[in-house]
Amino acid sequence: MPTPGPLIEMRGITKSFGAVKANEAVDLSVAPGEILGLLGENGAGKTTLMNVLFGAYAPDAGEILIQGQKVRITSSADALAAGIGMVHQHFHLAPRLTVLENLLIGIPGKSGRLDRAGGLARLAEISRQHGLTLDPDLPVSALSVGEQQRLEIVKALFRGAKLLILDEPTAVLAPREVDGLFSALRSMAAQGLGIIFISHKLNEVRALTHRCTVLRLGRVAGRVDDPANTTSAEMAQLMCGHEIVPPARGPSTPGAAVLTLDGISTSKHSGTVLRDVSLAVRAGEILGIAGVSGNGQRALAEVISGVRAPDAGQMTIAGQKVSRFSPREVQALGLGRIPEDRMTTGLVTNLPLADSMVLPRIGTAAFSAKGLLKPDAIRAFAEEQIKAYDIRCPGPMTRAGALSGGNLQKALLARELAFDPKVLIVSQPTRGLDIGAARFIHEKFLDMRAKGCGIIVIGEDLEELLVLCDRIAVMYEGRIVGTLDSADATIARLGLLMTGAEGHS
């Protein structure tokens, strides 16, 4: 088979933000029919590079060639016209408009009117070609996350994209949906489309892509010509510049139960309600809660954190019955929590970091007296934690929102662990963190486990749960549908449970 000329070529792309070189002399090319993996840690410059390609940033130096022709891309409209389509990590859809309306946006009409008929025909054609079916008249809010992603892909194809960029597309999908996505992407590639697949899940990159470009600190750290036959460890080393050893989880010596839930049910709230959930976490044990996002994990975390009172069932922390379900009560009983969304329920982005770090305990004698804050004590506490956890920031009075995700997560962890919780509940502990920061967080969990803390990790990343947890419970539609010892658990078995395919076990 003759090698076709590249569909798209980026040559010597350099882009600086102030003193920071986000991209430096980056070369990248994609041939028609090729799936290119773009790998790199957070801050390696993947997003900047793709934003240059999609017209959001103008590069300081370098050029972009499409089918050998030099082009200038200064807006997303230019990129679309050049045949570049992008599926962002956070979907660019209007939830209250219909599927068809989301497709027709920005498409010139027919004699001044929206071209509904033309749109429907084009949608049907794309659906047939790649097996991407969608109901054109449903509002986007009625679609599942997987379907919304499908719509984003269809949107790019609808506009005649020859090159499709997908930014961490599998982060939001269940294992089975990932398979569907991959087969659609392979079908598109087979028909001559170029695809750039951005991910940090190395096994997915190895399964899907034909070639990989690895970025580190804004430069190309290396290229992988045969991802399928390259080990994850080798790729991780390219990404980080040094070897990454997964944390070793020693044998478990669990003690008495520190948290029990017995027949917990909730109702009357948005999202999935809990149905008769019972579980126990023992001292010195890490329990994982797996499940496709939206199967009751949020309600579970809210009940355990004391934010939401259940309608039925009982909960104990360290043997004490929880009666009022308030954050203050469960915290007093020895519960620490790291919420799912660092920016909204974790801390206050517009306040100094120090304030956020003492917020849950602001009323305790350590940080206030006679109704007045003790600013010196607050500051001293924050400084101490910043040092202990190597939180990179100018100081404790920095606005919390200015910190990177990894540093925020460290700050939240420091805040909870400083008070030696008996139980720790964590949602999505390493979402959006790079390998180094994730590694740090994992080590802290294992330290706490060794000290006899019971930890619940709610997560969607099955590989992470398998490495970290002693047992893994799977949630489906608000129930615990199975609990596996991690020695017996495999991604396949968990995936099956997550889709509700296997009954109670």
Which residues of the shown chain bind other proteins in the complex (CB under 8 A)? 47, 54, 56, 75-77, 80-81, 86, 88, 91-97, 101-102, 104-109, 112-114, 155, 159
| Least Å from the CB of residue 400 to other proteins | 18
| Least Å from the CB of residue 214 to other proteins | 23
Amino acid at 164: L
Would you say 12 or 106 has its CB closer to other proteins?
106
Contact partners, residue 401, CB within 8 Å, separation at least 6: 343, 349, 350
Contact partners, residue 130, CB within 8 Å, separation at least 6: 157, 184, 187, 188, 191
| Least Å from the CB of residue 110 to other proteins | 9
Tokens of residue 204, six digits:
């997915």
Would you say 64 or 104 has its CB closer to other proteins?
104
- Which 8-state DSSP code applies to residue 461? -
Tokens of residue 140, six digits:
């986007």
| Least Å from the CB of residue 212 to other proteins | 25
Nearest alpha-carbon partner for 247 in 70, 463, 457: 463
Amino acid at 202: L
| Least Å from the CB of residue 71 to other proteins | 15
Do the bridges between strand 8-17 and strand 20-30 make them parallel or antiparallel, or are there none, so unpaired? antiparallel
| Least Å from the CB of residue 479 to other proteins | 31
| Least Å from the CB of residue 76 to other proteins | 5
Would you say 17 or 419 has its CB closer to other proteins?
17
Alpha helices, DSSP H, located in 193-324: 202-208, 232-240, 297-304
Please list the residues that pair with 26 across neighbouring strands.
Answer: 13
| Vertex 468 angle, CA 462 and 469, to 5° | 85
Q: Residue 188: helix, strand or coil by DSSP?
A: helix
Would you say 101 or 302 has its CB closer to other proteins?
101
For the beta carbon of residue 30, count every other beta carbon within 10 angstroms: 25
Would you say 108 or 503 has its CB closer to other proteins?
108
Whether residue 425 contacts residue 336, with contact meaning beta carbons closer than 8 Å, is answered with yes
Would you say 78 or 384 has its CB closer to other proteins?
78
Strands (E), 283-333: 286-290, 312-317, 320-321
Would you say 96 or 268 has its CB closer to other proteins?
96
| Least Å from the CB of residue 168 to other proteins | 14
Distance CA 395, CA 403 (A): 11
Directed axis angle between helix 145-158 and helix 175-190, to 10°?
Answer: 10
| Least Å from the CB of residue 11 to other proteins | 25
Please list the residues that pair with 71 across neighbouring strands.
Answer: 64
Q: Which helix (DSSP H) or strand (DSSP E) does residue 337 occupy?
A: strand 335-338
Tokens of residue 473, six digits:
């419970």
| Least Å from the CB of residue 54 to other proteins | 8
Would you say 47 or 385 has its CB closer to other proteins?
47
Would you say 169 or 429 has its CB closer to other proteins?
169
